[in-house]
Structure formats: structure tokens, C-alpha cells
Amino acid sequence: MWCIFKIDKKKINCFKKDLQNKLGDNVNIYLPKVLMQKYKNNKLISKEFNLLGDYIFCYHSKFNSSKIYDLIKFTRGLKTSLPGSIICQNEINDFINRCKSSENDKGYITNSFFGYHLDINYKFRTGPMTEKLFKIIEIQKNKLKILLGDYKTTILKKKYLYDPV
């Protein structure tokens, strides 16, 4: 059963280690991440961000019992657990499967997770056009036709990361 915990990001390794000590080695932890790249002083700087901020998914068969929460509530790095995760197992599984299906080969979430919309302003987060605004004119199978200033061009969907503005 999946559980959602709010953790202290600085103590994530302590949390994982203590959780494995208390529950055993078959604890499955999933933390979706996004890689942001930015040019600063003509250097490409890459930074990794957690998609859900302080929240993390943990799977273990013992999470079915309510007594297990008393055992792990004083784990180092744990701020709180979300009580509604017991009821919402189907939604959690769907979300995790959607995240895993939109990961690239390095394990980072790609733009296919967020979706594409026409005539909405976007800002590039990676690549040579970082921090530039554009609009999507047309959506194709693997490409996007965009309007970058006064120029129309085509980019690959999976090559760049961008956010709606």
C-alpha cells in the first residue's frame, strides 16, 4: 500500500535509512524529480527539483495496519503523513504510473507530463533559449510549432523543458 509522507528535504537519507530499519528492506520509495537548466554568465547550470516539494511516496505491505503509523511517526526526517492516502490508493497508483511513463532515461519528468495547450505563453527552462517566451501554434506527434517573438520554428517535444507563464 502506498503512503504519502511530508519530509524534511535535508534529512531524506536519514528518513530512508530509518524507515528501512523499522520496516525491512522491501520499502519502495518514489520521488518524482524535474531537471531545470539555466544559463548564467554563459555557463549552463543544472538544478534538480522535487516535483512535489516536501512530499514523498512510500510503498510497503505493512502500511495497511494503523499500528505501523505509531511505529514510524518518530522517524528522523518525517514531518507528517497524509491520512487520506489509505482511501486514495487508485489515484496514487494512477499518478505514480503517469509520472513513471513520462520520465526520460535519466529518471527526470519530461514535458509530456504537463501537457500542451495552444495559444498559451510558455517559458523555456532548458536549452539555448532559456527564459525566452513562446506560444505553441500547432501540436504534432513529436514536434511543436512555436512562435518565438516574430519567428516561427519547430522544436522536439522531449528535448526542452518549459512551463506555462
Q: How far apart are CA 121 and CA 144, in angstroms?
A: 13
Give the SS3 label for residue 106. coil
- pLDDT tens sequence across 27-78: 899 999 988 777 778 787 888 889 899 999 999 888 877 778 778 888 899 9
First to last CA, the chain: 36
Q: CA 46, CA 51: separation in Å to the nearest integer?
A: 15
Taking only the tens place, the pLDDT of each residue in 78-133 is 998 887 777 888 999 999 999 999 888 888 888 778 777 887 888 887 778 888 89
Please give the model's pTM, rounded to 2 decimal places.
0.75
Report the distance separating Cα 19 and Cα 25, nearest Å.
9
Q: Residue 50: CA atoms inside 13 Å, Cβ hemisphere, count?
A: 14
